[in-house]
Amino acid sequence: MRIRNASLVLAGSAMVAALGTASPAVADSSPTLPHPSPTGVLAVQKQAMAAGAPGALTRIDSGSTVYRLAMGKADRAAGTPMDADRRFRVGSVTKSFTTVVLMQLVAEGRVDLDAPANDYLPQALPDDRITVRHLLNHRSGLWDYTNDMFYNTVPGFEAVRNKVFTYQELIDLSTAHAPTNQPGAAYSYSNTNFVVLGQLIEHTTGMSMGTQYEQRIFKPLGLKNTSYVHPRTTLTGSYARGYVRDDDTTLPLVDSTEQTASWAQSAGAVISNSADLNRFFAAVVSGGLVPPAQLREMMSLVPVNADGTQSYGLGLRGRTLSCGVTVYGHTGTVQGYYTYAFTTADGKRRVSSMANTSNNGTVNTILGGTLEAAFCGTDPTRASTSARSAGGDHTEDIAPQIARR
């Protein structure tokens, strides 16, 4: 079926066997959800393209029904149409993958959430009061080095596109700055936190993050379209190319697909597709990856905006939508891609959306509207401003302290 260049496919879906008997760690007391609104998703995608995205895709898994919706171009030069199964760079959604690895180590007794992070690091952070928990919930106070690295978006990206960093080099860029707050005092989103966690995991286990992801997540869940290829620069298979907007918006978009993503590593270098992301987050909340005690920690959310519609747990974002449901997952920004990947607390409805551009706060905010369409059944392009704001905001997951239009 074709709807204005966007395809909609309904099909059966299956879970890994382990999820069939698992119970969510957080009871889902939200009202019964209305059916998803495919037309609402398409309206959001159309609006995102009007604001500068070459293309957009969304996959909704609702019980045994799958909606695949896509619009625009996956490759501008070749004119290749977007489709909902294409792979892409998921950016900070990687933080949830890293958190799962870390929480498994906690469950194994190898890491203590409330111990100083320095107990597990090869080189100490400047403040011994920073705990592992502070890194996971962005309350360490460590400055986000990407604020400097990408202060000028495209020149900053081109300077690091092919560079390979060590964790310590990135950490040193952060600790050259004064902290943003005392450890534990306030929420301050920082990629540095998850770079430190990558170093912590590798030092504790003696194995690379790629190996940890593969052995603990990718293989057990059968995520065949998910990979961590750092520092290789290319995507394989069927993928969407990414396009970053220059700060001078009169200049053309820059194809940012090929990059090491070494500036991000365990904070943002995973590659995946919408089906795998939905499967991953269903596994997280349903207890298929992390034991109940650690999952409760992950899903214990603290508000991070004034009206309480946005919150953060341990490596998980929360969004409270206009229909009263709170969904769990993460946003992702990496050069050329915006991602939203969220699920209900019971894992029964999941959505992943991507627009293949970045450095465009308007597109980022608009794309968040797919959450309202998928979970609340609304067309957020017709909704009130307050309803739309629950789906997204103008903050970025990279250079979060730099104002972007």
Contact present, 358 and 41 (Cβ < 8 Å)? no
Q: Give residues with Cβ within 8 angstroms of 363, minimum separation 6.
A: 48, 51, 52, 53, 338, 355, 357
Place of tokens 């905010």: 365
Provide CB contacts within 8 A for 166, sequence distance 6+: none
Place of tokens 């990856």: 289
Helix (H) or strand (E) holding 56: strand 55-62
Alpha helices in 18-70 (DSSP H): 38-50
Instruction: Give me the mean pLDDT over the 70-91 stretch.
Output: 98
Residue 9 is predicted with a pLDDT of 41
Torsion angle defined by CA atoms of residues 334, 338, 344 and 349, in that order, rounded to the nearest 10 degrees:
-120
pLDDT digits (tens, 9 = 90+) for 272-321: 999 999 999 999 999 999 999 999 999 999 999 999 999 999 999 999 99
Q: What is the pLDDT of residues 106-163, one digit of tens each?
A: 999 999 999 999 999 999 999 999 999 999 999 999 999 999 999 999 999 999 999 9
Q: How far apart are CA 359 and CA 91, in angstroms?
A: 13
pLDDT in tens, 228-285: 999 999 999 999 999 999 999 999 999 999 999 999 999 999 999 999 999 999 999 9
C-alpha distances in Å from residue 43, one per residue of 40, 66, 75: 5, 18, 21
**Side chain identity at residue 205, one-letter code:** T
**Three-state secondary structure call for residue 160:** helix
Asked whether the CA dihedral 82, 85, 88, 90 is positive or negative, the reply is positive
Q: Is it the case that residue 207 has pLDDT exceeding 90?
A: yes
Enumerate the β-bridge partners of residue 326: 320
Mean pLDDT of the chain: 91
pLDDT of residue 4: 34
Distance (Å, whole) CA 95 – CA 138: 11
Decide: helix, strand or coil at residue 366.
helix
pTM of the model: 0.92
Q: Are 193 and 98 in contact (CB under 8 A)?
A: no
DSSP state of 264: T
- What's the rounded Cα separation, in Å, for the pair 231 and 161? 10
From CA 100, how far away is CA 81, in angstroms rounded?
34
Q: Is the dihedral of CA 203, 204, 208, 213 positive or negative?
A: negative
Q: Collapsing DSSP states into helix, strand and coil, what is residue 267?
A: helix
Rounded to the nearest angstrom, the gap between the alpha carbon of residue 91 and the centroid of all alpha carbons in its chain is 6
Angle of CA points 213, 133, 170, to nearest 5°:
65
pLDDT at 35 over 60: yes
List the catalytic residues.
Answer: 92
C-alpha 76/C-alpha 343 separation (Å) is 31
pLDDT band for position 7 (50/70/90)?
very low
**pLDDT tens-digit map of 317-331:** 999 999 999 999 999
**At residue 181, what is the residue type?**
N
Matching residue, tokens 């005690």: 293
